[in-house]
Structure 1
Amino acid sequence: MQVDDTDRRILRQLQAEPDASVADLADRAGVTPATFARRLERMRAGGVLRAIREEVDWRALGYGVEVSLRITLDKTEARAFDEFIAAAREVPEVISIGTFLGRVDARLLVIARDMADYQHIYRDKILTLPHMTDIEALMQVATIKDAQSVPL
C-alpha cells in the first residue's frame, strides 16, 4: 500500500496522541474528520495499521521487577522451539517472547512484584521450561527509550 504525505501526517498525529478525539487529530493533521476516518480505514485495510489498543502499565499494578532472560535451547531436539514456546506462553508473568538466530535462541521478558516474587517465578516456572541448555538473566535498571512510534 502506498502511503502519501497526508497519510504520514495522520499517522504522526495518531502516534503522538492516540487517545485524542478524531476531530482533534484530523485538525492537527490538516484534514477534515471525514477524510481522517476514511484514510484511517484505508490504512487499516491495507495493513499499515493493525489495531488501536489500550496499554496496561504493569508497574501501576504493583510489578516492580523486570528481567530479560536470554535462553539457549537444545538444538538437537526437533521440537525444542515449539515445546519451549508453548510452555513459556503458559507463564502469566512472561509478558514478551522473542526468538532469534544466533547463540541466543529466545528472549523472555518476565515481570514480578519484587525480588522474592521473581525468585519464586524463576525457580518454579522458568527453570521448569523444557529444552533449555543455558539461561542468562539481565535485570532492567531503567528504561531510557520505549518508543512504539516509527519515524514518519
Structure 2
Amino acid sequence: MDRIDIAILTHMQQDSQESLNLLSDKVGLSPSACHRRVKTLEKSGAIERYVARLDNRKIGLQLDVFVEIRLTAQTEQSFAAFESAVHQIDEILECHLMSGEADYRLRVSARDVADYDDIHRNCLARLPGVAAMHSAFAIRAIKKWSGYPVQRLLD
C-alpha cells in the first residue's frame, strides 16, 4: 500500500459516495487510474464493503449499552458456542473477545431502558455459557468511530 492507496482509503472513509472524478482529483490520479486502484483495494479486502452510517438517535435507538460477559468455562467449545449464538442476535452490534476480567465486550443499541431490559432478558441472558454480565450505559458519545487512521501507516 502506497501513499495514493492511503489517500484513497482516507477519502473514501469520509465519504464513500463521493464521485470517482472528485476522488481522483483529490488523490492526484486520472479517473481511470483511480478506478483501478479502488478495484484493487476492493479485491484485496482492504475495502470490505460499502454501508450507510446511520444516526442511532434519529432512528429511535436512544441507548448505547456496553456489556461485559464472563463465561463459565474458557474452552474452545465454550467460545465457539457463545460466538455462534452472538451472530444470531441482531441487537448485538459488536462483539469483541477481550483480555482481562471479561471474556467478551458487546455493544448493544436499544430504544430505551425498557427495551434494553427486554434484550437483556430475552437475548443476552440466553447466550450459552454466561457466568456473569455487567452492563454500562453510555451517557453520550464524545467521539464516534469514523474510520481507521490509515494515514499513520505511512509513518
When normalised by structure 2's length, the TM-score is 0.85
Which of 110, 114, 122 does residue 120 from structure 2 map onto?
A: 122
Which of 128, 131, 139 does residue 129 from structure 2 map onto?
A: 131
Partner of 2:51: 53
Amino acid at match of 2:137: M
Partner of 1:150: 149
Instruction: Provide the C-alpha distance between the structure 1 equivalents of 2:79 and 2:119, rounded to a whole number of angstroms.
Output: 21
Partner of 1:30: 28
- 8 Å Cα contact 2:9-2:150 kept in structure 1: no
Amino acid at match of 1:105: D
Instruction: Provide the C-alpha distance between the structure 1 equivalents of 2:72 and 2:28, rounded to a whole number of angstroms.
Output: 55
Alpha-carbon offset, residue 38 of structure 1: 0.9
Amino acid at match of 1:150: P
When normalised by structure 1's length, the TM-score is 0.86
Partner of 1:63: 61
Q: Gaps spanning 5+ residues in structure 2: where? A: none
Deviations 1:30-79 (A, max 9, x none): 21111110111122233322222223333322111110100000126652
What RMSD over aligned residues (CA atoms) do the two structures have, in Å?
Answer: 1.9
Deviations 1:87-138 (A, max 9, x none): 2322221111111233211111111111111112112221222211111111
Question: Helix, strand or coil for the counterpart of 2:48?
Answer: coil
Count of residue pairs the alignment pairs up? 150
Report 1 or 2 for greater relative contact order, CA contacts < 8 Å, sequence distance ≥ 6.
Answer: 2
Instruction: Provide the C-alpha distance between the structure 2 equivalents of 1:127 and 1:41, rounded to a whole number of angstroms.
Output: 43
Instruction: Provide the C-alpha distance between the structure 1 equivalents of 2:15 and 2:21, rounded to a whole number of angstroms.
Output: 12
Question: Helix, strand or coil for the counterpart of 1:68?
Answer: strand
Amino acid at match of 2:32: A
Amino acid at match of 1:140: A
- 8 Å Cα contact 2:69-2:134 kept in structure 1: yes
Pair 1:6 & 2:9 matched: no
Amino acid at match of 1:22: L
Partner of 1:91: 89
Amino acid at match of 1:79: Q
Question: Helix, strand or coil for the counterpart of 2:58?
Answer: helix
Partner of 1:141: 139
Instruction: Provide the C-alpha distance between the structure 2 equivalents of 1:112 and 1:71, rounded to a whole number of angstroms.
Output: 18
